Amino acid sequence: MNIAQYIDHTILKPTTLPADIEKLCDEAIRYRFAAVCVPPHYVALASRLTAGAGVATATVIGFPFGYSCIEAKVAEIHKAIAEGATELDIVINLCALKSGDLDYLSREITACLQPIRLNRCMVKVIIESGVLTDDEIVACCTLYARHKVDFVKTSTGYAEHGASVHAVQLMRSHLPPEIQIKASGGIRTFAFAQELVAAGATRIGASASVTIAGGS
């Protein structure tokens, strides 16, 4: 398995420096990762460094807790796209989900999708599966399938639990085949990444990407 093609090479620490982005992009080009996923502050730099290399520029929206207002998320999306992002990983409003307000989540994704679709970009919705019940995961799959998102993504990496094979399998069994799954959060070995791909993930978000790509 060429695991590199599945990987979004990621750095999202709040203390990230330009030199870290330069290293991330150099590694992504060298190993032919699918994308780099960087803080919004560094989208323009990452986009410039990966231009023409076949590596997408992804960034996060509403990160890491997801409870910023819809208008703020939409503004973040517009800015990220203007600076070169082609993939947007959006943290859903978990407060709304936990309180059963699926109508809010529907309004949120509808507003976020408008600029994304207009600019032919890709959306990954982060549901933070590690803090959800199975019923909540299934509810997310049903909701976001209706809105025809590109990916449902497991985790931010900031919650107490990250990706799991169980969550990916559950998501795969409740999503239509055209909606992909990104597994992220706590993926540090080739063996675990391989398990997640076997379970149905088509992207792996990781900061240990070089180690994973080396088969360790």
- Which DSSP string do the residues of 36-74 spell out, in sequence order? EEE-GGGHHHHHHHHTTTT-EEEEEESTTT--S-HHHHH
Q: Residue ranges per domain, the chain?
A: 3-213
Give 29's pLDDT tier (boundaries 50, 70, 90): very high
Return the structure tokens found at 107.
Answer: 């309004």
Average pLDDT, the chain: 97
Where residue 1 falls among pLDDT bands split at 50, 70, 90?
A: confident
Question: For 56-79, what is each residue's pLDDT tens digit?
Answer: 999 999 999 999 999 999 999 999
Rounded Cα distance between 194 and 196, Å, is 5
- Which entry of 8, 73, 150, 182 is annotated as an active-site residue? 182
Give me the mean pLDDT over the 91-109 stretch: 98
Tell me, yes or no, if 13 is annotated catalytic. no
What six digits make up the tokens of 76?
A: 């973040």
Dump pLDDT digits (tens) for 46-58.
999 999 999 999 9
From 8, 124, 150, 153, the catalytic residue: 153
For this structure, is 23 an active site residue?
no
pLDDT per position as a tens digit, 104-131: 999 999 999 999 999 999 999 999 999 9
* Residue 182 a catalytic site member: yes
Instruction: Say which amino acid occupies 185.
Output: G
Please name the helix (run of DSSP H) or strand (run of DSSP E) that holds residue 118, with its range, or none: helix 102-118
pLDDT (tens digit, 9 = 90+) per residue, 158-187? 999 999 999 999 999 999 999 999 999 999
- Which of 8, 73, 89, 150 is catalytic? The answer is 89
Domain 3-213 = CATH 2.60.120.260: no
